[in-house]
Amino acid sequence: MAIGVQRATQQLTMADLKGRVDPDWCPGCGDFGVLAAVQKALVELRIPNHNVVTISGIGCSSNFPGYMNTYGMHTLHGRALAVATGLKLANHELTVLVTGGDGDGFGIGGNHFVHSMRRNVDLLYIVMDNQIYGLTTGQTSPTSRVGMKTKSMPFGNIEAPVNPISLALAAGATFVARGFSGEQKHLTELIKQGIEHPGFSFLDVFSPCVTYNHDNTYQWFRPRVKKLEDDSAYDPADWKAAMENSLVWGEEIPIGKFFERTDVPTLHGAEPVLNEGPLVRCDPRVPLDVARSFIEELM
Amino acid sequence: MKQTFAIGIGGAAGQGVATPGDIFAKIFSRRGLHLNAYNAYQSIIRGGHTLLTIRTGTEKVTNMGDRIDLLIPLNQDTMDRHLKLLSAGAACIYNADTIKPGPADDDVQLCPLPVSELADISRNKVAQNTLAIGAGLHMMGIGFPALEEVLREQFKKKGEAVVAENVAVARAGYDYAAAHFRAFPNPLSRTENRYAILSGNTAMAMGGAAAGVKFYCAYPMSPSTGVLHWMAAHARKAGIMVRQVEDEIGVINMAIGAAHAGVRAMCATSGGGFALMSEGLGMSAMIETPVVVINCQRAGPSTGVPTKTEQGDLWQMLGAAFGDYPRIIAAPLDIGDCFKLIPEIFNLADRFQCPGLVLCDLLLSEGRLSVHPQDLDFSPSIDRGELITSANGNGTPSAAATNGDYKRYKITDNGISPRAIPGVPGHIHTVATDEHMEDGVLISDEFTNPVKRRAMMEKRMRKVTGIEAAVPPPVLSGARTADVTLIGWGSTMGVIEEASEILNEQGISTNQLQIRWLVPLHGEAILEILKDSRHTIIVENNYSGQFARYLRSETSFVPDGHIRKYDGEPFMPHHIVEAVKEQLAGKTQWAGKTQVSVPMHEIMV
């Protein structure tokens, strides 16, 4: 089974979690709200910051680890989940947060996204989904709507967008949620739940790009988002209901926890090699009697 | 010349070529004999043509040699392909019911087995194979109990009835040969030595376990998959996390993630998979997290010939990932070296916090060799370099560092910055593939700074000087001066050695310069060695002379000739011997000033 999240002995503050430099995001960027919510969640969960590793790919939102005072890895475009999987398996006592954008996660990193979910790697994956490529100055992304005009598709996008929530449900993610950068308290709560969930937690966050996406703005989202938590009849254990709700998109767009199950073993929990504790603390030497048996097989 | 004995067993894939091969290999190794096995096969699960060559002798057998002494064709196709290549003194054992011999040398002994008379073929589908093993063993002068012992082990799991049946069939073949076939003039010797028989893939996997690898991941790709298979089968005993990943991009990134957490991490692939790992290698170098990557070369380009060997990836390896960065590249010299090299390259990668690349090839990866068990050392030195694994920092000078003054990329004289692993209090930092400053903060986006960029580039590249000092220069084997100096790299060591012996016997003196460390190359030392050479020839298993071009680029050295082979099959000693003689006689084609020989592979496999 998963080892529980490690708690700090002393209370951390928001200031303790602030990185060495300030974010270089555009004023008004949705990512500010996500950063604040992540820091608040870590404070509230009392997780010591040296036991947290924030891992990202490349893109505007992937600058995230540098703005956090946790261990961080700013990896390659699309590869954060693969790096995070290796890191988690080598030391499963670390709390692993993976952050990135829709291009990073659903475009170039799409393969790792699908496979990380079916593996049920124990980490929280936050996608700051702005439905556009920002750092490359405004091209169509895998979540851009049909018809959206960008520099790469000036006559309008003709490709259907990916539905991250349905995809995550189909790929076997054991925690699937959607947040909105404009709903801080709600988002913080989802992040806390995602960190505590034993297994792969996927959190897609509407994080508007104020510079390049003039379609999906705060003003566009605000009247549309509807919290699943407000519907007392909604049961996040019901996968079919989650799938049905994942397809709802229009005048109303559901946010909140779509789905969670905790009965699937995590990747590190399923591998007996880790029964003795994290690999990083194991003796690197193969015991000599075991080594001898390896050689005897060949004789 | 060393006395050796070679058996060739051929048939279609799925006909059971591997089992007789394993049985002969076990019998030879238990007689204290060395052996070398090479399987020429195809990318097909059933059908096609497979030829397994097992060569044995009392001294180390470094390659498959030039001659087959005993041919066991399991089908007509094998008979048709190989009988005509047998030379005087050889023998061919075959199923007389189904296979007809073709033209053969007068002094080749044809040994037809009346299989349906000797065994119940309706019950035992591989009776012809077992009969042939029995017959062959008698002709080699080996007593039947040795075979019975191995057959008992081989069929133990299938029950006593199957064991008894197979022993009886083998016995029938053994006795039939005693009555009808001429034994080989020299019975196989016996020594008191005992060897382990292993493939290069097994050797590299075991070398990884010995080096303390705790994380191994891979995507299946011939001819590297054997490393994954050994790792997966032994993971739980050895305490290694082994993962099969969705693609090689995921592989390298996952390995780097594990390495970053503080364990030794390794992965293996072939040329196509290595191409996908290129960007990840750059990350390893940039964030200064060591990882070891094995490339088992196969014949390229593209999907190429998945089951055939080549030394065609040198320039891919040299050019992998963009930008300049420190790294180590080594090519193991034989299967024993496949084991030994892994702990060595891990120590270097850890000390210098950079990627370590192993350039193996199918010939070693899938070939099998007898290795003295003492050469499989599970207690090699393990040097993790400047690694901080606790708040006390393992006694390194940065031990007392608080988070305020710990700098992951501290600028140092040797370019090495103490590396704290995640989870250590007081050393929090972010590593980045973007260019960064000493504390890890990016200088790629908002705060670009040419002075700092230059300082970080120079910090990383200073590690190259340390790597050069830590890696020994190559040494010449043989006399300081000789008629011919043969230069090779990696897996061609054994076959060049044997070709040299033959040339020496024929009155052409030779010496050999075999390169193991490709980066750093030690060009000055190589020039110093080659300045006394009278005639230099570079031997390599590729089309364009990749090593020759590399050596020239590093040293301006141009050899007198080249011997190259790129047909998918490895060199045989006579290929090199004949090419050297041709070149000395000035008979070969001219390509500019140097001569190039491309030996023809006579065996159709």
Is residue B271 within 8 Å of residue B298, measured between CB atoms? Answer: yes
pLDDT in tens, B324-358: 999 999 999 999 999 999 999 999 999 999 999 99
For residues B561 and B581, state if they share a domain. yes
Q: Residue A45's pLDDT is what?
A: 96
Residue B191 maps to a domain? no
Q: Residue B1's pLDDT is what?
A: 64
Count other Cβ atoms within 10 Å, centred on residue B560: 17
Please list the ranges in chain A whose pLDDT falls under 50: 1-3
Q: Residue B399's pLDDT band (boundaries 50, 70, 90)? A: very low
For residues B362 and B234, state if they share a domain. yes
Report the pLDDT averaged over residues B407-412. Answer: 97
- Triad B393, B396, B397: Cα angle to 5°: 110
CA distance B355 to A164: 35
DSSP tag of B442: B
Q: Residue B396's pLDDT is what?
A: 43
**Nearest neighbour of B246 by CB, restricted to A73, A87, A115:** A115
Q: Residue B122's pLDDT is what?
A: 80
The parent domain of residue B9 ranges over 4-180
**Nearest neighbour of A82 by CB, restricted to B29, B206, B253:** B253
Q: Residue B591's pLDDT is what?
A: 54
For residues B42 and B59, state if they share a domain. yes
Out of A3-17, B109-123, B293-307, give the one with best mean pLDDT: B293-307
Residue B604 maps to a domain? no
- Last-in-domain residue among B336, B351, B375: B375
For residues B287 and B407, state if they share a domain. no
CA distance B375 to B353: 27
CA distance A218 to A34: 14
Cα of A187 to nearest chain B Cα, Å: 25
For residues B521 and B582, state if they share a domain. yes
* This prediction's pTM: 0.96
Q: Residue B402's pLDDT is what?
A: 46
- Last-in-domain residue among B155, B180, B205: B180
Residue B235 maps to a domain? yes
Show Cβ contacts of residue A226 under 8 Å, excluding neighbours closer than 6 positions.
A252, A253, A254, A255
For residues B240 and B335, state if they share a domain. yes
For residues B405 and B340, state if they share a domain. no
Q: Residue B445's pLDDT band (boundaries 50, 70, 90)? A: confident
CA distance B70 to B76: 16
**Nearest neighbour of B439 by CB, restricted to A20, A94, A282:** A20
For residues B445 and B540, state if they share a domain. no
Residue B254 maps to a domain? yes
What DSSP line would sit under B372-404, residue for residue?
A: -GGGS-S-------SEE-STTGGG-GGGG--TT
For residues B466 and B489, state if they share a domain. no
CATH number for the domain harbouring residue B316: 3.40.50.970
Residue B250 maps to a domain? yes
Residue B583 maps to a domain? yes
CA distance B47 to B14: 7
Contacts of B257 in chain A (CB under 8 A): 55, 73, 82-88, 90
Residue B424 maps to a domain? yes
**For the CA atoms of B462, B464, B470, B476, what is the dihedral angle to 10 degrees?**
-140
The two structure tokens encoding residue B4: 């050796």
- Triad A13, A14, A19: Cα angle to 5°: 120
| Superfamily covering domain A15-272 | Thiamin diphosphate (ThDP)-binding fold, Pyr/PP domains (3.40.50.970)
Q: Residue B365's pLDDT is what?
A: 98
Cα of B507 to nearest chain A Cα, Å: 39
For residues B134 and B208, state if they share a domain. no
CATH number for the domain harbouring residue B49: 3.40.920.10
CATH number for the domain harbouring residue B493: 3.40.50.920
Q: Looking at chain B, which residue has its C-alpha nearest residue A109?
A: B250
Count of structural domains, chain B = 4
For residues B101 and B127, state if they share a domain. yes
Cα of A12 to nearest chain B Cα, Å: 14
Q: Which residues pair with A227 in a beta bridge?
A: A255
Residue B382 maps to a domain? no
For residues B8 and B141, state if they share a domain. yes
pLDDT in tens, B159-209: 999 999 999 999 999 999 999 999 999 999 999 999 999 999 999 999 999
**Nearest neighbour of A273 by CB, restricted to B239, B287, B432:** B239
Contacts of A294 in chain B (CB under 8 A): 206, 209, 234, 237-238, 378
- Last-in-domain residue among B450, B470, B490: B470
CA distance B320 to B305: 21
Percent of all residues in chain B with a pLDDT value above 90, rounded to a whole number: 90
